[in-house]
Chains A and B, each alone.
Chain A
Amino acid sequence: MADRRDTSIRILIVDDHPVVLAGLTSMLGTQAGMEVVGSASGGEEALEMLRTNAADVVLLDLRMPGMSGIDTLHALKRAKINARAIILTSFETDEDIYRAVQAGAQGYLLKDAPQSDMIEAIRAVHSGKRYFPRHIAARLAERMMRTDLTSRELEVLHMLARGLTNKEIGSALAISGNTVRNHVNSIMEKLEVSDRTEAATTAIHRGLIELSN
């Protein structure tokens, strides 16, 4: 037993959905050389567990109530907890991937990936490598080439997608309509689009903004 504990990969699963937690725990528990040391339903719980109980690999869901996957990654970094994280999510927008990598994720997997891919990813990350499936890597590369929007531009983009006019955005942010127009022009340039509607559509497709919050 002691021997196995030394060589097997210790895994912590973080997901807000109990069915996913249970399924993953069962599946990975049956794998040789892997041990699920715990499961957490949120970022805070995961941090708590990692403080007392070291894990080699953390399987992290991106979207969770409270602390999101990205927030959790940042918190891990701040707390100087040394754990390698793989994002396991059903989202694959450019922005999600990009932000996860920026926050220090070592791998990125979709939840409908086959078991073999998952095992491979865990092994690779555990051994110090990074794991990104081909199409995720391609999208990441594409995203890397684009210029980032500033936070003000993101704010403007958010309101723009809600159908506000320049004037309305200006009064909401307490800036002049001309300034808003400049921001909008800059946004359209960075997103490589030709009009406002397209800017909003593209932003939603890439995950730059979400309409629901």
Chain B
Amino acid sequence: MKFPSLLRRRAVVALLLCLLLALGFAGLLAYLHSPSRGLPYRDSFAKGTAEEWKALGGTWELANGMMRNDSDERGAKLLSGSPYWHNYSIEADINLLGASGDAGLAIRSRNEEEGVNSYSGYYAGLRTRDNSLVLGRAEHGWMEVTKANPTPGGIRPFQWYHLKLLAYDCQIVAVVTAPSQAASTSIAINDQVCVQSGRIGLRSYSSGGIWRNVVVRSATRQDLTEMLRGAGPEGNPEPKSPVAEGPQGPSELPSAEQRKAIPRSNANTQNIENLLLSSFATPAVVTVRGVVVLTTPVLFVQDSTGGVSIPQPTAPPLKVGDEVEVTGEVHPGDFSSTMEHATVQMLWARTPVPPVSVTASQASTGRYAATFVEVQGRLAGKERGPGNTLILDLDEGPQSFRAIMNPGRGDYLFSKLKPDSSLRLRGICVVDSAFTKNLTPFVLLLRSNEDLEVLAGPPWWSTGHVIVLIVASLLLALIGVFLYHRVEHWRLRAILEERERLAHEMHDTLAQSFAGIGFQLQAIRNGLPDQASPLNQQLELASNLVRHSHEEARRSIATLRTEDMESEDILAALDRCARRMVEGGTVEVVAQREGDQRTIPLRIADTLYRIGQEAVANAVRHAHPSLLTIRLAYRGDSVCLLIEDDGDGFVQGSGLSGFGIRGMRRRAQSISAAFQLQSKPGGGTRIRVEATLPPRLTLASWPKLLWKYGKEHWIDGRSARHVHSHSYRG
């Protein structure tokens, strides 16, 4: 009962393993779906990392340890956290960058897509237009539920507010505090059928914003009541149809109130292009008007004729897309100018200018210096520059250039970039040697990592891949060869075992019967009184036939048992066989080999051996020779066996020898070998068998052989067998 118990033990072990695996999987799933995994969360913007955040729209960038979105895009989102978070609060300090939109926090957000209100969840925002704190639900459409006007002061851009948003069961509470004032304003909603869980998000609408100190904590009922104590009238979301357009209104143009606030613009503005014509010697003070294209590290302003860099300006907080008026000293450069000691006046917010698509060669001429361009290139290398900036080395054709990214959210993308990828980059083309270090004709200053787009990964035939492929295919080939040899080995072993079984069978039946019948015939002959009668002669012939058959059967058995013909080769086997037959006699046996020995397929070797055995036996038994020569000659594609004796010889076609010869001839035919016999009385006997061999295995013959093997294998499985028996030794 050793076997079943072993099996049972194995089954138990397998079952246990499965159970463990299932448990582990369930545990992992439970962990991943846990409503508080990763809580509490505190942002690491100050350390300059924000890999866990995912942007949908906007130009989210880390600057001075804060997350900043300069774009006026409506509904730009930055998301993080687990979609299984259920009861929790999120709080952050928020600073609006524009006067015509809102910015805030999203909670329990899911199914997010790029677009204005393309998510499911709750959002609390600070809105400048009507100085309010709004709270509502987005369901791929906006449902504003409640709003409150924080007093005093309302909501102003460029001022820090602390916003806290809490979700507990179906109650959502938002509280806003202006740091300068102790008073806080809060609003709450009780949603009947609420979004149960979701991620957190930073979101802005038309204004852009800065976020810092984002903290997410698990919330309890106590937290909720504490927050509700200060909350204003609780709103109930009415099942009104969602408004696709936000309540914020699509107003892009400055409102009447804002227009009043716009400072008067200088009538003597110049085209930026004209600044290049200014004198070097006496810096003139001029005024230009344009759109902000970059704020950090240097302010760049661009109009329809060109761009200008403005280091260290006196300026209000600006963001990309603002229409500004700059007054300052002009310092013309080779390709673009610089304005120093400049004062910047913000006129109004505008859509950011689109980039000009140029080639790297065009950009390197300087024609596009200080302007916002789009260039394609192949990534040649990447490195980290001073101040932890990320530097990309790129090529486009013969032209190489550099791109500089700010660290932070770009880190992750940067580490993912593979050399030889094809990239599309948008940024300010700078030819100033302060940035280029005279290494490349121009440098692109990227605004955010949304300005970098991977068009195509590196081609698969990189050196590493090719080496891996070669190694893998070599390994596969090795495994294939190994398996092939193993299988061949097993097959041959099975054949040998079958042959051995057959030999036993033949010995036990055929050979014994021949022996018995021989004895019986002898007994009949013994009983006959007249030794010379024809009956006696016939009986003698009969017993000779039986003895011959017995010998043949014994030889068949011996051949079947001949363990491996190839490993000791036919010549040695025949030599041994002949020596055994002439043992104690005076016959001299000579064995000779001609040509280079090579492997002979098992079937051919077998047949040659048996023909040789028969020939040797005939010679020894009947011809009384003094010399027996066995010669095996290897030619190019054939092998020739020659057995020669100097004995009596015989007249062909007479007597018993006819049987043996016919047998040899038949055997030779079975392997398509040429059989020749020469003998005359008194002149000895010479038997020659020439068999064609399959083509030798060389590198060139492999495909041909494989094809042939495949064909034979399908057409006739048996005949294919001998083709590959060379691996017999295995």
Which A residues lie at the B interface, using CB under 8 A?
15, 17-24, 26-27, 29-31, 63, 90, 111-112, 115, 134-135, 137-139, 163, 197-198, 200-201, 204-205, 211-212
A22-B520, A90-B507 known; A135+B512 contact, CB < 8 A? no
A19-B516, A90-B507, A90-B515 known; A27+B501 contact, CB < 8 A? no
The A-contacting residues of B in range 496-538, CB under 8 angstroms, are 496-497, 500-501, 504, 507-508, 511-520, 522-524, 526-527
A30-B526, A115-B522 known; A20+B516 contact, CB < 8 A? yes
Q: Which of these, B489, B523, B527, B554, contacts A90 with CB under 8 Å?
A: B554
Q: Which of these, A20, A29, A112, A198, contacts B551 with CB under 8 Å?
A: A112
- Rounded to whole Å, the gap between the CB of A48 and the closest CB of chain B is 23
**A135 contacts B584, C-beta separation under 8 Å:** yes
**A212 contacts B501, C-beta separation under 8 Å:** yes
Chain B residues with CB under 8 Å of A211's CB are: 496-497, 500, 563
14 CB contacts below 8 A, A to B, read A17-B515, A19-B516, A19-B517, A20-B512, A20-B516, A23-B522, A30-B523, A30-B526, A31-B526, A112-B515, A112-B518, A112-B551, A135-B580, A163-B493
Chain B residues with CB under 8 Å of A63's CB are: 507
Q: Which of these, B526, B550, B567, contacts A111 with CB under 8 Å?
A: B550
- Rounded to whole Å, the gap between the CB of B614 and the closest CB of chain A is 16
Per the bound structure, the CA–CA distance linking A18 and B512 in Å amounts to: 9
Nearest residue (CB) in A for B521 is A23
A30-B527, A134-B583, A134-B584 known; A17+B547 contact, CB < 8 A? no
Per the bound structure, the CA–CA distance linking A27 and B519 in Å amounts to: 6
Per the bound structure, the CA–CA distance linking A138 and B520 in Å amounts to: 30
Chain A residues with CB under 8 Å of B507's CB are: 63, 90
Per the bound structure, the CA–CA distance linking A204 and B557 in Å amounts to: 13
Residues 551-566 of chain B: 1 if any A CB is under 8 Å from the residue's CB, otherwise 0? 1001000000101100
**B500 contacts A29, C-beta separation under 8 Å:** no
- Rounded to whole Å, the gap between the CB of B337 and the closest CB of chain A is 83
Nearest residue (CB) in A for B550 is A112
- In the complex, B257 has a CB within 8 A of chain A: no
Given contact pairs A23-B523, A197-B729, enumerate 18 new A-B contacts (beta carbons under 8 Å). A15-B512, A17-B515, A19-B517, A20-B519, A22-B516, A23-B522, A24-B519, A27-B526, A30-B523, A30-B527, A63-B507, A111-B518, A115-B522, A135-B583, A198-B567, A201-B564, A201-B567, A204-B563
The A-contacting residues of B in range 114-147, CB under 8 angstroms, are none
Q: Which of these, B500, B508, B516, B567, contacts A21 with CB under 8 Å?
A: B516
- In the complex, B568 has a CB within 8 A of chain A: yes
A22-B520, A197-B729, A200-B563 known; A112+B504 contact, CB < 8 A? no
Which B residues lie at the A interface, using CB under 8 A?
489, 493, 496-497, 500-501, 504, 507-508, 511-520, 522-524, 526-527, 547, 550-551, 554, 561, 563-564, 567-568, 576, 580, 583-584, 729
- Rounded to whole Å, the gap between the CB of A117 and the closest CB of chain B is 12
The 4 closest A-B pairs by CB, nearest first: A23-B519, A19-B516, A26-B523, A17-B512
Per the bound structure, the CA–CA distance linking A172 and B567 in Å amounts to: 27
- Rounded to whole Å, the gap between the CB of A134 and the closest CB of chain B is 4
Per the bound structure, the CA–CA distance linking A15 and B547 in Å amounts to: 19
Q: Which of these, A23, A29, A137, contacts B516 with CB under 8 Å?
A: A23
Chain B residues with CB under 8 Å of A111's CB are: 511-512, 515, 518, 550
- Rounded to whole Å, the gap between the CB of B491 and the closest CB of chain A is 13
**B520 contacts A26, C-beta separation under 8 Å:** yes
**A204 contacts B561, C-beta separation under 8 Å:** yes
Per the bound structure, the CA–CA distance linking A163 and B547 in Å amounts to: 37
A112-B551, A201-B564, A201-B567 known; A90+B504 contact, CB < 8 A? no
Per the bound structure, the CA–CA distance linking A157 and B176 in Å amounts to: 92
Per the bound structure, the CA–CA distance linking A163 and B729 in Å amounts to: 10
Per the bound structure, the CA–CA distance linking A134 and B493 in Å amounts to: 37
- Rounded to whole Å, the gap between the CB of A29 and the closest CB of chain B is 7
- Rounded to whole Å, the gap between the CB of A100 and the closest CB of chain B is 17
Chain B residues with CB under 8 Å of A135's CB are: 580, 583-584
Nearest residue (CB) in B for A162 is B493
Chain B residues with CB under 8 Å of A90's CB are: 507, 511-512, 515, 554
**B564 contacts A197, C-beta separation under 8 Å:** yes
Per the bound structure, the CA–CA distance linking A31 and B522 in Å amounts to: 11
Chain A residues with CB under 8 Å of B524's CB are: 26
**B527 contacts A23, C-beta separation under 8 Å:** no
Q: Which of these, A18, A139, A201, contacts B583 with CB under 8 Å?
A: A139
- Rounded to whole Å, the gap between the CB of B525 and the closest CB of chain A is 8
Chain A residues with CB under 8 Å of B564's CB are: 197, 201
Per the bound structure, the CA–CA distance linking A135 and B496 in Å amounts to: 29
Chain B residues with CB under 8 Å of A115's CB are: 522, 526
Nearest residue (CB) in B for A111 is B515
**B519 contacts A26, C-beta separation under 8 Å:** yes
- Rounded to whole Å, the gap between the CB of B464 and the closest CB of chain A is 38
**B526 contacts A23, C-beta separation under 8 Å:** no
- Rounded to whole Å, the gap between the CB of A118 and the closest CB of chain B is 9
- Rounded to whole Å, the gap between the CB of B492 and the closest CB of chain A is 10
Per the bound structure, the CA–CA distance linking A20 and B518 in Å amounts to: 9
A29-B523, A135-B584, A204-B561 known; A112+B547 contact, CB < 8 A? yes
Counting chain B CB atoms within 10 Å of each CB, the highest count among A22, A24, A29, A111 belongs to: A111
**B563 contacts A23, C-beta separation under 8 Å:** no
Chain A residues with CB under 8 Å of B493's CB are: 163
- Rounded to whole Å, the gap between the CB of A188 and the closest CB of chain B is 15
Per the bound structure, the CA–CA distance linking A21 and B501 in Å amounts to: 24
**A23 contacts B520, C-beta separation under 8 Å:** yes
Q: Which of these, A19, A29, A139, A204, contacts B513 with CB under 8 Å?
A: A19
- Rounded to whole Å, the gap between the CB of B520 and the closest CB of chain A is 4
Per the bound structure, the CA–CA distance linking A60 and B524 in Å amounts to: 23
Nearest residue (CB) in A for B561 is A204
- Rounded to whole Å, the gap between the CB of B620 and the closest CB of chain A is 11
Per the bound structure, the CA–CA distance linking A22 and B517 in Å amounts to: 9
Q: Which of these, B511, B512, B527, B568, contacts A198 with CB under 8 Å?
A: B568
Nearest residue (CB) in B for A210 is B500
- Rounded to whole Å, the gap between the CB of A136 and the closest CB of chain B is 9
Q: Which of these, A20, A204, A205, A212, contacts B515 with CB under 8 Å?
A: A20
**A201 contacts B520, C-beta separation under 8 Å:** no
Nearest residue (CB) in B for A201 is B563
Chain B residues with CB under 8 Å of A198's CB are: 567-568
Nearest residue (CB) in A for B553 is A90
Nearest residue (CB) in B for A23 is B519
Chain B residues with CB under 8 Å of A27's CB are: 519-520, 522-523, 526
Per the bound structure, the CA–CA distance linking A212 and B502 in Å amounts to: 10
Per the bound structure, the CA–CA distance linking A23 and B546 in Å amounts to: 13
**B584 contacts A23, C-beta separation under 8 Å:** no
Chain A residues with CB under 8 Å of B526's CB are: 27, 30-31, 115
- Rounded to whole Å, the gap between the CB of A20 and the closest CB of chain B is 4
